[in-house]
Amino acid sequence: MSTIVLRDKIDYLNSLRGIAVLMVIFTHAGLYIQTSLLDSNTRSIIADASRGVQLFYILSAFTLFYSIYSRKGADTRQWRDFFVRRLFRIAPLWWLSIMAFIYIRSQYTFSWSAILSNVFFIHGFNPKYINSIVVGGWSIAVEMNFYLLVPLFYKLCKDLNRTLISFTWIYVAMRLISFAMATANPGVSTTIWAEYLFYYLPHQLPVFFFGFMLFHIIIRKDTKLSPVAIVHAAIFLLLCYSFSKDWFMGQCAMLFPLVWMVSKAPHVKLWNNKVLQYLGKISFGLYLVHFGAVLLVKESGVLAYITQPHLQFATGWLLVTALATGIATLTYRLVEKPCIALGNKLIERLESRKILY
């Protein structure tokens, strides 16, 4: 694949990440900024923009399969190198965020078990810890736990038909697990338990399969469906939209055509431009720091001078985005880039050592 074609693909993927992070900030600005005076339709749009997190998941699955596919044969220890890259990409800024939020949220007391579970990315297995320190940290738990399953899914989802069939069975299995978990007695409040059942990996896992399918369709040009795969697709659609009304997965499914559309028309500046590409490039840091930016904007009191509700919300969203972008730019340059480079150097050293011995 030529460098130009590869660059184009990276650009539109970054633009989609930019759209995803703007959606997430849109929702969280609405949570912390006065929205009670907004009309119900606007409040509904604000809430639904939270699907930006699931757009991140789809893009993550797409990018990981694409990266593994393009590096095939280049890494002698493919999966070891995969996990090293992921660790150096995510962990340093995540650990810094844990320290920052412990300081920012000093009014709370965090136990050592909560802190250590976050440090080692196992906070997603405990309803009390999954979203306990870093606001929005539940999604990092889901993402890191998903990485452990990528080698299995890459073998399982070798083409579009197998991916679609696997997706349907995973979706059914995860729904059954969630139904069973809903009747459990976890020893926490019903509110915490309900939130946990939304955040935890089994509920989010099927979303990643949309990214796998898009990889096969867009990159491998695999678009032919077998009769068996079509039947499985019909089963999913019936379960999602008819029998059990899974509106969450229905909304996530609507992100599938969005990614496909952008991939087919990357030249359209509306959804692929320098601003979105830059926001996408720093989107991981932007996601982690924007919660702090929301609190700063709220505490500043500047929005109190704006009385029109829609204008107040729009101003708050723009201020949060601008402030968070400035902070994320610093974290990208000072933390993310150096640590990614360090991870690549470690892989090179491990590869050269193998050659020597």
67-78: pLDDT as tens digits: 999 887 555 588
In terms of C-beta distances under 8 Å and separation of at least 24 residues, what long-range contacts does 241-248 make, across chains too? 244/175, 246/175, 248/198, 248/203
Q: Report pLDDT for 36.
A: 66
In whole angstroms, give the CA distance from residue 201 to residue 322: 31
pLDDT digits (tens, 9 = 90+) for 270-312: 999 999 999 999 999 999 999 999 988 888 888 888 888 888 8
Q: Report pLDDT for 222.
A: 97
- Given the structure tokens 């995860």, which residue do they identify? 174
Q: Report pLDDT for 10.
A: 72
Q: Which residues contact 131 (CB under 8 A, 6 or more apart)?
A: 137, 138, 195, 199
Q: Report pLDDT for 76.
A: 59
Q: Report pLDDT for 75.
A: 58
Q: 58, 255 in Cβ contact below 8 A?
A: yes
Q: Report pLDDT for 33.
A: 67
Q: Report pLDDT for 40.
A: 85
Distances (CA, A) of 124 to 16, 138, 171, 198: 26, 6, 19, 11
In whole angstroms, give the CA distance from residue 117 to residue 123: 5
Q: Report pLDDT for 3.
A: 43
Distances (CA, A) of 70 to 174, 261, 316: 30, 22, 41
CA nearest to 257, candidates 16, 27, 21, 68: 16
Q: Report pLDDT for 289.
A: 96
Q: What is the DSSP letter of 272?
A: S
CA of residue 143 relative to chain centroid, distance? 7
Q: Report pLDDT for 74.
A: 57
Q: 133, 292 in Cβ contact below 8 A?
A: no
In whole angstroms, give the CA distance from residue 332 to residue 175: 37
CA nearest to 303, candidates 34, 68, 31: 34
pTM: 0.94
Token pair for 320: 């949060």
Q: Report pLDDT for 356.
A: 46
Residue 1's CB is within 10 A of a number of other CB atoms, namely 8
Q: Report pLDDT for 224.
A: 95
What is the crossing angle of helices 283-300 and 3-32, to 10°?
Answer: 20
CA nearest to 9, candidates 68, 73, 62: 62
Within the chain, which residues score under 70 in pLDDT? Answer: 1-9, 32-36, 73-76, 243-244, 354-357
Residue 91's CB is within 10 A of a number of other CB atoms, namely 17
